[in-house]
Every structure is written in structure tokens, then in C-alpha cells.
Structure 1
Amino acid sequence: MTTRQPVTRPATQTPTPVTDPPSLVGQQLPVVQTSPVTGRARWHRRISALPLAYLAGIVVVGCIHPFLPTWRWLLIHLLLLGAVTNAIVVWSAHFTAAVLRVPAPANRRAETLRLVLLNIGIVVVLTGGGLDIPWVGMAGATVVFVAVTAHLAWLTARLRAALPTRLAITVRYYLAASAALLIGIPVGAWMMGVDDDFRPHLLLFHAHVNLLGWVTLTVLGTLLTLWPTVLRTRMADNAVRAASKALPFALAGLALLGTGLLTWWRPVAFVGLALFATGAVIALRPALTVAQGKQPASFAAWSIASASGWLLVALAIDTGTLLFSPGPAEAMENFSDVLVPLLVGFTAQILIGALAYLMPVVLGGGPSKVRPRNAILDRNWPQRVAMGNAALIVFMLPVPPYVRITTSLLVLVALLQFLVPAIRVLLTARR
């Protein structure tokens, strides 16, 4: 059991009281703090609009998709490249500074430049892909690659400069995730200009490296500290040890999976996916232990818990797809059965759940402001969580087209039930 060390701040800054309950102090979880209206709160008010804007774009494309020939591609990339990538870049920097106890920067110019560069690249990629202009998409992918490289360099520098801490394993997950994205981006750019027999190999590789590497590794590293904080309870005693043990499994599995998909050597791909799934289970087991002691009781908590379950479901379906697809073309066609739970059930739901918890806290104003924001985002949460997940389950069953259309609309409604109050919270905080 260790004690929290006092943090020395410049005299010009307003002290930021830690809101973790006493049970968290001994576990060193200074991850999310409430504060008066400080520079950090103003920063988060500005950049919180980024993922919300891309989520709003998903709603727009969902409503007008009959008029868009590339609507599926746009929906996927608005979520993954737009909303999720912005959230990961912003919050991985936030959690890195928290777990390494890095002093707040004097200004946010470098981080702002990275985010501006990232979003210029994202908009260009979406434009090129949406209008089917390959060279535009490739140019945008290059800009995104530069921005993520700068983010990776920042994470590496922070880790090297920090004093040793057992929670540094979180940052190592972020480093591995960023490296995976830097491998996946060029493959995605290449696919924009390639349409031959090798394309299924590239698509499968690109999807797995980005979804399992960039997204899932980031989530597993973040849940180490975020999950007990959301539940306002203690971290499991073996959580750090489990995270450290899980990362080599996940990385070895991802390497074998990528190699097997590119060469279509199914035994190698299967072993790789099995190793990755093993790593995910090892990393998530302490979260289950924590939830057994303190059950989820909020929209954020149940969204994160549901998303974790969908991750395991998606990995199981993915395993079946690899085993029973005779070739890469068939595997690419069957991969849509994996994308639905992996994108909607896991990725979108984990993003919304994390934002529902983090946004009210970091927008500033102290507990008197945080509680009303939580109440707004938690309104009707049992109905929202149940409706979204039930609709997704029905969608995955062999049902008629009109049932799938109905369930798709219900999932879209569940997204709106988060998006509208989230924008309200953001606008209220700005005022």
C-alpha cells in the first residue's frame, strides 16, 4: 500500500482537488480530477467537440445513406478515423500525464498542432474516400501518419522522462497501439489505389491491425485505471500484473495474425488471433473482479461493461470466420459478421461510455457542476443501454431486411440519446 505524493504546482495555477474516494488513494489512481475553471478545463471544453462532431456526422450519413454510394466506408471511417482516433489521441495524452505524474504543460500549442494536423488529414481522407479520388485519400493518410508519429514521439518522450511507476504499463499499451496504427495507415492508403486479387489480404490486415491494435490495445491499457475509477472503488490487487502479462500475448498474437492474413496462412492467423484473445481475457479478468465487488450503476459503467462483452463476442466470431473461410475473398465477405459487433457493440459503445464519464469531470467547475452533468448524461440510461444492445443482438440474427432496418434505426436513436445531452453539457460548460 502506497500513499499519494503531493504534486507541486506553480503558484499561478489553481490547485486541482482530487475527487477519488479514499479507497482509491492507496491504489495510485490520480486519473480523473475535477477542478474550477482552469486552463485545462477550457482546453477540454474545446477539444471535446471533436469526437462529438464526427459522431454527429455518423447520424447525418445514416439518415442520407441511400444517396451516398460509399456510405458504409464513410460510416466506418467517421467512427474509427474520426471520433475514435481523436478521442484516443486526446485521452491517451491525458492518461499518460496522469499515471506518470507529468506536470501540466505551460501551453497546449504542440498538442493543438498535432490535433489540427490530425483532423486536416482525417477530413482529406474522408473526402478522398467519399468521392472515390484515391490520390486525395492517400494525401490525407500521409498527414494522419505524420500526426500519429508526432503523438507516438510525445508518448515515448514522456515515458522516458518519468520516474518509474507501476502504472507505466498503461503508456506501453498506448505506444504499442500507436505503432499498430502507423502500420495500418499505409496499408489503408495502398488499398485506395489497388483493386486486384491481393486486396482481400490487405483489407483483412488493415481492419485487424487498426481495430485490434489501435483501438483494442488502447482500451485494454486505459481500463486498468479507468474502470475502477468509474465504479469508484479499488483497483484489483492483480490488475497491474495482469496487464503486464497480457501485453506480450496481445502483441505476439497481433504480429502472427497480421502475417497469417497477408500470406493467408490460416494456422498462423488462427494462433495469432487465439493469442490476442488470450491477452484480452487476461487483461479484462481484474475488471470482472472489480465489478463483482462494486456493480455498475450508471450509463458510463454499463456501456463500458457491455462493450467489453461485445469484444469477446467479436473475437469468437472472428475465430470462426478464419476457420471456415476457404480463402481470403470469402473471409473478407464474412468479415462483416465481425465488423458489426466489433464496431457498434465494442468500439462505439466503449467510446460513448468513456466520454459519458470523462466529459462531466474534466469540463471544470467542481462537484457542484459535475453532478448535474452526470444526471443529464445518465437520464434514462437503463432504457438506452438495453435498447441499443438488444437491437444489435437482433440485427445479428438471420432476420428479414425490414427487421434489420428497424434495429439499425434503434441503434441510431441510442446514439442520439447520448449525442444530444452530450452537446448540451458541452454548450452549458462553455457558457
Structure 2
Amino acid sequence: MNRLRGHPVPAGLGGGGMNGRAGWHRRTGALPLMYLAGLVALAFAHPMLPTWRWLAIHMLLLGAATNAILVWGAHFTVAVLRAPAPTRRTGEAIRLILLNAGVLAVLAGGAADLPWIGVGGAAAVFAAVAAHLWWLTARLRSALPARFAVTVHYYVAAAVALLTGIPAGAWMLVTDDAARSRLILFHAHVNLLGWIMLTILGTILTFWPTVLRTRMAGDAVAAARIALPLAVSGLVLLAVAVLAWWPVVTAAGLGLIAAAVVRTAIPAVRVGLAKPPESFAAWSIAAGAAWLLAALGLDGWTLLTSGGPDAAVDRFGIVLLPLLAGAVAQVLLGSLAYLLPMVLGGGPAVARERSAALDRNWAQRVAMANAALLAFLLPTGPYARIATSLLLLVALCQFLAPAVRVLVQARR
């Protein structure tokens, strides 16, 4: 572990790094970017694709976010447990190959109405995540006591959540029965608030002070330890309640999850006030966290005021947009904007040049994206929604262009 102003950060995030690690991240760094580029292509082709919304959701979550979680989850696990750096990446490479073969099969099956291909893809994704979970638990068992081991406990809980949600998604590819609406709500909440949100909460513990280049708050670890059982209890309560359709209980589950987010946010906000964000990465992550809390409140209101699961599914779109574009996408882009320049090798000077390229016009990009997202959620006409959608697309392209250029230059 290196140290940055008294705060421990993963090896390789403070400077140069080993050729093996840099080469690995040059190869795997392209994976989330490929799916994000696919979202841009989908935005132009969507009039010809009836299932474009479903494709967009799965390209972001199952493609871009899940690849990032497997790659960087392994990276941070080794760092926080102070485990030896891996000398070979064979197992991790197999997991990523299996994951992406499965993701492509799921996308193809859903787009072409070939459900059993999608089910086969879901099985491959399940196997990849199960192998990732086994690897995480093996690292925990073999590690010496570590102050930040709670981060890996978040990763374990997140992987269990995704393994619970995948079978529901696969089942819906081949059946269409009366329980479909409840399964949609179960699948969406367990995957989004389990796999994605738990991973974010666990990572932010050490990552947020690192991005700000400052010390961690003294009570941050204790807050993370308190928040984990709150979040897991809320998620279990929510999952059972949407299947049984107990709206009040769903709101209680969401309340526990929101309490967990707030508990981890308190020390993070205190650190941010002492050392204000000054980069695209920091502001994008902060905006994503704010949208997550807003989406949880909106989700609770939607579930409580819907007359049944069918109505809740019809209205879930107003929750998905702030969750996906507001929270998940912004945290993902902000994290990549900080991590990629640091792990691609070349030394501190080159890392600063890469960071500057990814930070260019950051204030305009963050302001435009969040203003467009807020405007999209207002009761406006179709032309206004098209305009705001285009602004969100422009913000994504403003990240993708320098990110791809950084990767290409690093490979050369």
C-alpha cells in the first residue's frame, strides 16, 4: 500500500506501477468503454429497435458496470486486504471472457427474441459472478486482519445479490405469467440496489478520499460497518416485499437502504467540505451519490402510491432514469476518469497529462449532464425531451473521446 497524505490508497494509484499491472489495465480498460460506445450507437439506431430501452439498461448495467466491478473489485480487494499482487491473471481473464460471452448472448437473445440464447447468456454471467464471489471469499479467508476489509464484505454481499437476481431475469426471458410484474420489480431492485449500490458504498470508503487527495474521516470505517447490515437488511426486506406486494414493507426496506447511504455519506460529506472537489471524477461521483438518494425517495413514493405491481412497473421508468443516468453512469464515469490515468503506466507526469485530458471542460460537462437530467424529469414536451437526451449523449461522448484516446496512447 502507498500512502497519500496519511490515507492508504491501493498500490498503483499513486504513481508508476508494474508493467504487468499496467498491461492488464490497458487490456481490460477498454471493456466498459466498449459498452458505453455501444450506448452511443444505440441512441442513433433506437428507432429501428423495439427493445432499445431494455438493451440500453443491460448494456449499461450488465455490460459497462459489471465489467468495471469485476476488474476494479479485484483490484481494490487485493489492495485493502494487503494481499500480494497477482503474478498471473488467468483466473480473472477467464471470468471476464465468460462474463462478456454471457452479456453478448443476453443482449442478442433479448434483441432478436431468442429467449434460450438469452438464458444461456444469463447462465454464463451467473457462472462468472459466482467465480468472482468464490475468489473474494477465498481472499478474505486467507488475508490477515485489515482495517478496510469491510469493503470486501460489501463486494461479497453485492455478488450474492446479483446471483439472486439473475435467475429472475432469465426466467422472464422464457415465461410471461401473472407474476411477471413482481419479478421485474424484484429483478430490478436486487440487481440495481444490490449489485451496483452495495459495490459503490463499499468502494467509496477508501476511494472518495483518494479522489479528493486528502485524509479519510476518522469515523468512515465505523460508518461503513454500521451501514452494511442496514443496507443488506433493507434489500432483503424490499426483495420479499415486492414479490409479495406489500407496499408499506417495500418503503420500509427502501428506508433502511437510504439510512445506510446517509450513514456512509456523512463522513464523505465532511471530507468533501474540508477538501472541496476540484475534478470531473470527484464532482461526477458526488452528483451520482446525490441522485442515488433522490432515486431512493422517488422509488419509495412510486411503490407506495401504485395500486398494484402492474402499475408500479409502468411507473418505474421515472425511477430508472435518475438511478441509471444520474447515479450509476455518473459514478462509473467519475471512477474511470480517476482510475484509468493512474494505472496505465508511464509515471506521475504522464498520469497527470491523462487526468488533465479527462478533466477538460469538466465543469461544463457535469453541469450540462445534471441540468439535462433534471429537465428530462420535468413534465415537458417531446421536443424538450429529445433536446435533453441529446445533451446527455454529448456529455457521454465528451468522456468517451478522451478516455479512448488515453487508452490508445497507453497501448502505443
Determine the structure 1 residue equivalent to 2:366: 385
Distance 1:21 1:339 in 2: 37
Retained in 2: the 8 A contact 1:126–1:137?
yes
Cα distance per residue 1:228-278 (max 9 Å; x no partner): 000000000000000000001100000000000001011221111111111
Residues 289-340 of structure 1 deviation map (CA, whole Å, 9 limit, x = unaligned)? 1101000000000000000000000001001001100100010011101000
Distance between the aligned counterparts of 2:149 and 2:380, measured in 1?
46
1:213 and 2:194 are equivalent in the alignment: yes
User: 1:326 corresponds to which letter in structure 2?
Assistant: G
> TM-score when scaled to structure 1?
0.94
Q: Distance in 2 between matches of 1:33 and 1:109?
A: 26
Question: Is 1:193 the equivalent of 2:166?
Answer: no
Runs of 4+ displaced beyond 4 Å: none
Q: Return the alpha-carbon distance in structure 1 between the equivalents of residues 168 and 361 of structure 2.
A: 42
Instruction: Report the alpha carbon displacement of residue 368 of structure 1 after superposing the two structures with TM.
Output: 1.4
Secondary structure, in 3 states, of the residue corresponding to 1:167? coil
| Count of equivalent residues | 411
Structure 1 residue runs without a partner (length 5+): 5-17
Contact 2:5 2:213 in 1 (8 A): no
User: Could you tell me how far 1:30 is from its partner in structure 2?
Assistant: 3.4
The CA distance in 2 between the partners of 1:35 and 1:190, in whole Å, is 46
Q: CA deviation at 1:37?
A: 5.6
Number of the residue aligned with 2:4: 21
31-40 or 294-303: bigger deviation? 31-40
Are 1:114 and 1:147, in contact at CA under 8 Å, matched by a contact in 2? yes
1:268 aligned to 2:249? Answer: yes
Specify the alignment match of 2:229 in structure 1: 248
CA distance in 2, matches of 1:237, 1:132: 52
Query: What amino acid is the match of 1:21?
Result: L
Whole-angstrom CA distance in 2 between matches of 1:210 and 1:34? 34
CA distance in 1, matches of 2:20, 2:299: 44
1:22 aligned partner, one-letter code: R
Alpha-carbon shift at residue 36 of structure 1 (Å): 4.8
Which residue identity does 1:306 align to in structure 2? Answer: A
Identity among equivalent positions (%) equals 60
CA contact (8 A) 1:37 1:364 kept: yes
Q: Supply the AA of the counterpart residue of 1:80.
A: L
Cα distance, 1:201 vs structure 2: 0.1
The corresponding residue for 1:229 is 210
Indicate the residue corresponding to 1:422 in structure 2: 403
Alignment correspondent of 1:291: 272
Matched, 1:54 2:35: yes
Task: Please report how far the alpha carbon of residue 132 of structure 1 lies from its aligned counterpart in structure 2 after TM superposition.
Answer: 1.2
Give distance in 2, aligned partners of 1:197 and 1:405: 34
Report which stretch shifted further, 232-241 or 191-200: 191-200
Q: Identify the residue that residue 30 of structure 1 maps to in structure 2.
A: 10
Query: Within 2, Cα distance between the matches of 1:30 and 1:44?
Result: 14
What is the distance in 1 between the residues matched to 2:292 and 2:320? 11
Amino acid at match of 1:323: L
Structure 1 CA distance for aligned equivalents of residues 18 and 89 of structure 2: 16
In the alignment, which of 126, 129, 154 is matched to residue 173 of structure 1?
154
Q: Do 2:237 and 2:249's aligned partners in 1 also have CA atoms closer than 8 Å? A: yes
1:343 maps to which residue? 324
Rounded Cα–Cα distance in structure 2 between residues aligned with 1:221 and 1:418: 25
Matches within 5 A, 1:95-114: 95-114=76-95
SS of the residue corresponding to residue 6 of structure 2 reads: helix
Q: Distance in 2 between matches of 1:176 and 1:243?
A: 13
Unaligned runs of 5+ in 2: none
Distance 1:382 1:270 in 2: 35
**CA contact under 8 A between 1:37 and 1:365: conserved in structure 2?**
no
**Conserved? CA contact 2:10–2:76, under 8 Å:** no
Contact 1:242 1:283 in 2 (8 A): yes
Partner of 1:184: 165
Distance 1:179 1:58 in 2: 27
Q: Which amino acid aligns with 1:261?
A: V
Distance 2:40 2:304 in 1: 35
Are the aligned partners of 1:236 and 1:289 in contact in 2 as well (CA < 8 Å)?
A: yes
Q: Aligned equivalents of 2:251 and 2:275: distance in 1?
A: 36
| Structure 1: distance between partners of 2:17 and 2:122 | 38
The Cα RMSD (Å) is 1.0
Q: Name the SS of the counterpart of 1:409 in structure 2.
A: helix
Whether the 8 Å CA contact 2:17–2:343 is kept in 1: the answer is: no
